[in-house]
Amino acid sequence: MKTLLSLFAALSMSLNTLAAGLQHVEPPNWWVGMRDTSLQLMLHGSGIADAKPTLAPYPGVTLKASHRAASANYLFVDLDIGPDARPGELVLNLAGTTLRYPLRARMPGSAEREGFGPRDAIYLVVPDRFAQGGSGSQGGMKEGRDRASPGGRHGGDLAGMRQHLDYIAGLGFTQVWPTPLVENNSATYSYHGYAATDFYKVDPRFGTNDDFQAFVSEARTRGVGVIQDIVLNHIGAGHWWMADLPAPDWLNQWQQGYTETHHARMTLQDPYAAPSDRQRFTDGWFTPHMPDLNQRRPELATYLTQMTLWWIESAGLSGIRTDTYSYSDRDFLSHWSARVMQEYPRLNIVGEEWSPHPAVVAYWQRGKRNHDGYASSAPSMMDFPMNTQLLAALTEADGPHTGLTKLYEGLAHDFVYPAPGNLVLFDGNHDTPRLFSLLGRDVGLTKIALAYLATTRRIPQVFYGTELLMQSPVERDDGRVRADMPGGWAGDEASAFTGAGLTGEQREMQDWVRRLFNWRKAAPVIHDGALMQYAPLEGCYAFFRYDAGHTVMVVLNKGGKPVELPTARFPERLQPGDHARDVMSGRDFVVGSSLSVPARSPLILEIRR
């Protein structure tokens, strides 16, 4: 880790000391040995646009071209970093300015890194609300700390997350997804991270780029990968570009003035959609404070792609979560995802497409043969359709088309996905009310939901604090949904990390989640096994995960009474005389003519013959 940190320090010193007159050089460094040898530098400095750069001779590296955009203060320089190039320092001369540009060696095995997948379980954290460890600094930022305000900065930071990696790993999670950590220098409501003001800089209130490096490195030693949340669709109104756009079409601009997206995401697949509706969906802004990026501008498309690769390579990430996926330009997303997967064939990208329709979500997954020929290279998507069905299954009365039937039929729609097992199914996230509250503060139903997440054919993601039965309003209220993790601040009365001050119900739930996900971590049949489900009957829904040597049976009883479930109902997978082990209680027994399923409970059985 010391080597990585010293490289970052050397990089900063190099750019700050030797590139006088340049305010920004992005990406700030690059690597030899990338599969695509092209590199485009964005140089920003007063009057730099008309400079004619020259490159000092460097074996394997060629200066291909340079060009300006509309602004006099940007120059785009195209380089080719050939396969024979070695690590070192390029020297570019630009009208009296000397830029010494670092070329690094990639970390061993970088291109072949294993991304997250069905063997993993993801823990979602809002960094500002998780824990304060002391790495953050106000550093002249516009918004200070105000923990009393639900929508204000509360002071969680990278050091706080790093200090509690043992807690995350101990719960059985193998990946952590923090919401965006890059600088969001806005006057208010800046903590959420989705309005970047500098794509290459960690927000000082969280820490530094070095602190992020240290966090990822230490997480890896605990068997936990880090998924970075990257926003391609928009920036914050305080982004440094906004004072001097490289070109007027860098943003999606509207002649009639500010135009907000109408969120009509189905316009992209609708064969009858009006072109103006499609344009408003993708080119409309989220809010006046989130300018919409025009990825049809070639330099911006290249910038966003290289920025993504830079974070993967420099931080050692195991995956990317892409916010507001379909709002970006479709062709850009196709090329962006292909380039990322070209450099990291085993990485994973999960996109956010907030739609209840499986066909809409499937459209964006790699391998989907779409009606319009569109091809994506993103391996994963967030499974909003199944999240919707799971909540309905546990809150509606059962009927031919309601309640548990929705869970059954939701999974039956897996035929539309190229790789349903690589979808990320979640209990909730930073934009949705808390699971426990949506389920009427019912512990049994909450356990059923988590048991389903952990055992069905998906990658499970759990929102921080679910294991503590954290609550929120049932209508959207971001500040309260993203409440502080108990024990993350000195002086907190209760602590998730030590157990002090937790209620008995919270401690029991925390222990239950710990047992469930640690079992899952060591259960390959859940990661890779086939799935067979049975239509719900008598308030129970059952399915099996199985492979050549293992079988797991899962029964969800959402009713208020215990159920005796006839084993004859499952002739393909279960027989009287089979040996069973209750995963959560550890009880062993021999299967008889029926199974006893407690009220308002999941039952998870390992079956042996």
Catalytic annotation, residues: 323, 352
DSSP string, 86-144: -SEEEEEEETTEEEEEEEEPPPTT-TT-----TT--EEEE-GGGT---S----TT-SS-
**Side chain identity, residue 120:** D
| CB atoms inside a 10 Å sphere around CB 578 | 18
Long-range own/partner contacts, residues 543-550 (CB < 8 A, 24 or more apart): 543/411, 543/455, 543/456, 544/570, 544/573, 544/574, 545/455, 545/457, 546/573, 550/523, 550/524, 550/525, 550/606
Q: Which residues pair with 68 in a beta bridge?
A: 75
| CB atoms inside a 10 Å sphere around CB 396 | 15
Asked if 604 and 451 touch (Cβ cutoff 8 Å), the reply is: yes
Across the beta sheet with 88-94, the strand order is 30-31, 97-104, 88-94, 54-55
- Residue 96, both tokens: 């009296």
Q: What is the 3-state secondary structure (H, E, C) of 157-197?
A: CHHHHHHCHHHHHHCCCCEEEECCCEECCCCCCCCCCCCCC
Q: Which residue has the tokens 């035929």?
A: 415
- Residue 316, both tokens: 């050692």
Asked if 366 and 376 touch (Cβ cutoff 8 Å), the reply is: yes
CA separation for the pair 283, 294 (Å, rounded):
8
SS3 at position 551: strand
